[in-house]
Chains A and B, each alone.
Chain A
Amino acid sequence: DARVTQTPRDKVTEMGQEVTMRCQPILGHNTVFWYRQTMMQGLELLAYFRNRAPLDDSGMPKDRFSAEMPDATLATLKIQPSEPRDSAVYFCASGLEAAYNEQFFGPGTRLTVL
């Protein structure tokens, strides 16, 4: 049963610390997405990769956030330095590129910045 996995599932950190979230997309998928979900803003797209190349990161605060795909089995989202307003659930999703194909979501990383 192929699934998207994310680590850690929960992260509590202090303001100013670096946070790295990891995602393993489903084997064979060529698109990867990072989302942030909060009560106030709902679901926001942060970054989009196709064949490991970043295509759209317009939703991501550039000064502190960065997203990479070092290889096809790993996507990372890094926040440095973290701030309390970054507290949210961060989801990774993967899929096969085509308009009729769905995205498969991971279980999310719940980040709390104190």
Chain B
Amino acid sequence: GDSVTQMEGPVTLSEEAFLTINCTYTATGYPSLFWYVQYPGEGLQLLLKATKADDKGSNKGFEATYRKETTSFHLEKGSVQVSDSAVYFCALSGNAGNMLTFGGGTRLMVKP
């Protein structure tokens, strides 16, 4: 079945540091790929998505590129802020409508 693997956290960075959170997936066919973010005490919200190979999703300074050859969708940001501290989930949507398969989540902590 489909699966998503993302790096374990927590990831601790200083403000303005470069961020990479790795995500790889296993799926049949051509899934859509998503990054969700969960701020403390809140539900998950969509950060960005990509629906086909080589697409780049971007939002709020975050970017991720759908790499079919490496089955990856790594999340990057050039300069993180304290307000980016949250849990980040990589997910895919395969053939079953908009049902999502989530990775385990990666907690990011940004220190001033």
Contact residues of A with B, CB < 8 Å? 4, 31, 33, 42-43, 45, 48, 50, 56, 91, 93, 95-108
Which of B17-25, B42-50, B69-77 is the interface stretch?
Answer: B42-50
Known: A100-B49, A106-B43. A42 touches B98 (CB 8 A): no
Count residues of chain B with CB under 8 A from any CB of chain A: 22
Per the bound structure, the CA–CA distance linking A86 and B45 in Å amounts to: 24
By a CB distance below 8 angstroms, the chain A residues around B99 are 31, 33, 45, 48, 56
By a CB distance below 8 angstroms, the chain B residues around A106 are 43
Q: Is the CB of A91 within 8 A of B97?
A: no
Number of A-B contacts (CB under 8 A): 58
Q: Which 9 A-B pairs have the closest CB atoms?
A: A105-B43, A97-B97, A100-B51, A100-B32, A105-B44, A102-B46, A101-B98, A99-B93, A95-B98
Known: A102-B46, A106-B43. A31 touches B97 (CB 8 A): yes
Contact residues of B with A, CB < 8 Å? 31-32, 34, 36, 42-46, 49, 51, 89, 93-95, 97-100, 102, 104-105
Q: Is the CB of B34 within 8 A of A98?
A: no
Known: A91-B43, A91-B44. A103 touches B104 (CB 8 A): no
Residue pairs across A and B with Cβ atoms less than 8 A apart, 6 shown, are A31-B97, A95-B98, A99-B97, A100-B49, A102-B98, A105-B44
Q: Is the CB of A107 within 8 A of B42?
A: yes
The residue on A at minimum CB distance from B93 is A99
Per the bound structure, the CA–CA distance linking A40 and B71 in Å amounts to: 27
By a CB distance below 8 angstroms, the chain A residues around B49 are 100, 102
Q: Is the CB of A43 within 8 A of B105?
A: yes
By a CB distance below 8 angstroms, the chain A residues around B104 are 42
Known: A99-B93, A100-B51, A107-B43. A43 touches B102 (CB 8 A): yes
Task: Quote the shortest CB–CB distance from A59 to chain B (angstroms).
Answer: 11
The residue on B at minimum CB distance from A4 is B43
Task: Quote the shortest CB–CB distance from A40 to chain B (angstroms).
Answer: 11
Known: A42-B104, A43-B89, A43-B102. A98 touches B44 (CB 8 A): no
Task: Report which residue of B32, B43, B94, B99 has the largest number of chain A beta carbons within 10 angstroms of its beta carbon.
Answer: B43
